[in-house]
Structure 1
Amino acid sequence: MSVIMKQCRQCEFTTAMFFYNLSGRDLIVEEQHYRSVGFFIGVLLTGVSIIFLNGLVLTAIVINRRLHYPFYYLLGNLAVTDLCVGISYLVITCLSGVWTSTVSTSQWFFRQGLIDTSLMASLMNLMAIALERQQTIFTMQLHSKMTNQRIILLIVAVWIMAILIGLSPVMGWNCLCDLSSCSETLPLFSRSYVLTISILSLLIMFIVVILYTCICVYVWKKSRRMTEHTSRDQSKGTVVSLMNTVLLILGCFVLCWTPALLLLLLDGLHHVPQKLLVVESFILTLVACNSLVNPIIYTYRDQDVRTTFKCIFCCFCVAYQQRRSRPGGYDTVVMINEILMIVTLMSYF
């Protein structure tokens, strides 16, 4: 027992490099990927695009009163989670590769906990949106009958679960005191934790796929019954449009998440090939891309959101033109007045 306690004290003050060497990871080889110009530009563009697009969605939902409904609250929460994914993705990428050798265990736990919490919150929020859509479509309502209080409780529950899962390694579910159980993809995490996370995430993915499949089947059967009351072309066009949207959602969702979850599952089962560890950064980038396409997929067919986007861009273009036409420059008071004018204008939509 005293030997184990001594080992725990030693590991607590060891840098993360010790655990990477223990797992057989070659950080010099991985650094070649991180330092490549193409990968750096891709990471920068991906991170900035995630932050910009989700920030735009969040702004539109806040300033447009017509978007103050349960579905849009969930969409706004998805934008917040994906915004956190973009920020944490940039942080974890900038502190990867050979920079890992200078990171302490506490810094590594903070870095990894940030991205894990954000990704888990985004994944669970996608499931919450699927549940809301299924309930709304099955009851043939334009907006869900869920009250604002229930939506807030659902959002709070999503974040509490995500934070608990993301902080579990910090609270003790790690391999600092049991080096034989260390993961290979996440060297400071226990293999049992990695396995649990992969199974839980795969379960959430399965639920999302089942929910959207049920929505497609229900709408298809409903459209066949309604063909005698409406034109066949109109009914067929509605079903095809819905099918395309659902297939796009599921296709991007499964494509982005499956490689990472399979890698974690193999790692948890202690069957991960060493060659996959070299491309771990690209697999993480693929998961982050889901946070990039989420605001596009969930908003591009929504007329109210598109109209709000256009108004935001038009208002800022007008403000920019007025700034350029002023000979006296552009002081802070004028800028604040214009922002207040834009917000006031959007609140009446």
Structure 2
Amino acid sequence: MLNVRFGCSGCAFRTAAMKHCFYNETVGFFYNNSRKELTTYWRTKDVLVVALGLTVSVIVLLTNLLVITAIVINRRFHYPIYYLLGNLAAADLFAGIAYMFLMFHTGPRTAELSLKTWFIRQSLLDTSLTASVVNLLAIAVERHQTVFTMQLHSKMSNQRVMILIFCIWVTALLLGLIPSYGWHCLCALEKCSSMAPLYSRSYLTFWAISNLVIFLIMVVVYTHIFIYVKRKMTRMSKHTSFHPRYKETMISLVKTVTIILNPWPSAKLDSAQRNTLHLMHQRA
């Protein structure tokens, strides 16, 4: 039986709410209500989806474990950007676990799930995806700061990075767990979504818009970075158009920008790249 806090927001209305809620119904009841197909036997495509899903999940788990391990043991990666990348790997690792849980509780097994298990399955997916999207935004902001200050690494303290990572996960957990604590359609069948039959359409709309806004902000940040870099390259071309080493300088500039936007290459710059970075900073 589902915990009573799953539905009512106040004890004073609990009795009245229970009369109109369907806490004791099966998952199949809500799927039928939303006219969403729910199979009771294993089809060929179900087996293929589960097999492929488990394979992808294992690959995601292993690759992100390697990334996290590399960041932990390599002192060259002990900078804010790498901590954020490590947290992104942790979010993807969590997504792999969530997807693996889904694969073990999908297909014909969906009809056998309790309402609580169904909500756990969906919350894991929503939380992991939100954590990844918010973390990508944090990385974009950090890259924006480093590009505009012409530094390879930001000067953000480790404490601030940890607070930022904590806020990322709190945000992801809040968005992922809200349906389990009231924002569902167990008490209003007419509001059930056809995509997720136990979720309210309003919650799915809110969740989708929230992630879309975060994504659009990230696009704006990176667009600003590219416009800024393009302008600096144009200024450099005007000052070096007749210089014999113009081509080499521009190539070094592109390499420098690539290193700034992609932190995974070695943190050491060669002399030409250092000179170009310094020249850009002087003419900013």
Q: Is the TM-score greater than 0.5?
A: yes
Structure-1 residue corresponding to 2:46: 35
The one-letter code sitting in structure 2 at the alignment partner of 1:100 is T
Q: Among 85, 88, 103, which residue is 1:78 paired with?
A: 88
Instruction: Please list the CA deviations of residues 260-291 of structure 1 after superposition, one character each: whole Å capped at 9, or x if unmatched.
Output: xxxxxxxxxxxxxxxxxxxxxxxxxxxxxxxx
Structure-2 residue corresponding to 1:171: 181
Structure-2 residue corresponding to 1:231: 246
**1:234 to partner: Cα distance:** 3.9
State the SS of the aligned residue for 1:27: coil
Question: Normalised by the size of structure 1, how large is the TM-score?
Answer: 0.66
State the SS of the aligned residue for 2:134: helix
Q: Which has the larger radius of gyration?
A: 2
**1:32 to partner: Cα distance:** 3.6
Structure-1 residue corresponding to 2:59: 49
Is the aligned partner of 1:206 residue 2:216?
yes
Is the aligned partner of 1:98 residue 2:108?
yes
The one-letter code sitting in structure 1 at the alignment partner of 2:127 is T
What pairs up with 1:172-191 in 2 under 5 angstroms? 172-191=182-201
Q: Among 19, 40, 43, which residue is 1:6 paired with?
A: 19
Instruction: Please list the CA deviations of residues 130-173 of structure 1 after superposition, one character each: whole Å capped at 9, or x if unmatched.
Output: 01001111110110111111111111110111111111011101
Instruction: Please list the CA deviations of residues 53-76 of structure 1 after superposition, one character each: whole Å capped at 9, or x if unmatched.
Output: 111000000001111000001011
What pairs up with 1:150-161 in 2 under 5 angstroms? 150-161=160-171
Q: Distance in 2 between matches of 1:102 and 1:29?
A: 9
Q: Distance in 1 between matches of 2:253 and 2:107?
A: 49
Instruction: Please list the CA deviations of residues 206-257 of structure 1 after superposition, one character each: whole Å capped at 9, or x if unmatched.
Output: 11111111111111111222333562344256448958x97xxxxxxxxxxx
Structure-2 residue corresponding to 1:67: 77
State the SS of the aligned residue for 2:20: helix
Q: Distance in 2 between matches of 1:233 and 1:29?
A: 65
Report how many residues are paired: 249
Q: Distance in 1 between matches of 2:16 and 2:89?
A: 48
Counterpart contact for 1:176–1:188, Cα < 8 Å: yes
The one-letter code sitting in structure 2 at the alignment partner of 1:6 is K
Q: What is the identity percentage for the equivalent residue pairs of Structure 1 and Structure 2?
A: 44
Q: Distance in 1 between matches of 2:256 and 2:33?
A: 52
Instruction: Please list the CA deviations of residues 107-145 of structure 1 after superposition, one character each: whole Å capped at 9, or x if unmatched.
Output: 111111111111110110000000100111111011011
The one-letter code sitting in structure 1 at the alignment partner of 2:221 is L
**1:80 to partner: Cα distance:** 0.6
What's the RMSD between the two structures over aligned residues? 2.6
Counterpart contact for 1:14–1:104, Cα < 8 Å: no
State the SS of the aligned residue for 1:183: coil
State the SS of the aligned residue for 1:107: helix
**1:6 to partner: Cα distance:** 1.5
Counterpart contact for 1:220–1:239, Cα < 8 Å: no
- Structure 1 segments, 4+ long, off by >4 Å, are 1-4, 240-243
Instruction: Show structure 2 runs of 5+ residues with no match.
Output: 1-12, 268-284
State the SS of the aligned residue for 1:7: coil
Question: Normalised by the size of structure 2, how large is the TM-score?
Answer: 0.80
Instruction: Show structure 1 runs of 5+ residues with no match.
Output: 247-297, 305-349
Q: Distance in 2 between matches of 1:62 and 1:36?
A: 37
Counterpart contact for 1:17–1:103, Cα < 8 Å: no
Structure-2 residue corresponding to 1:288: none
| Structure with more helix by fraction | 1
Q: Distance in 1 between matches of 2:45 and 2:100?
A: 12
Counterpart contact for 2:40–2:111, Cα < 8 Å: no
Q: Distance in 2 between matches of 1:15 and 1:59?
A: 42
Q: Distance in 2 between matches of 1:225 and 1:29?
A: 66
Q: Distance in 1 between matches of 2:248 and 2:40?
A: 57
Is the aligned partner of 1:147 residue 2:144?
no
What pairs up with 1:233-312 in 2 under 5 angstroms? 233-236=248-251, 238-239=253-254, 301-303=264-266
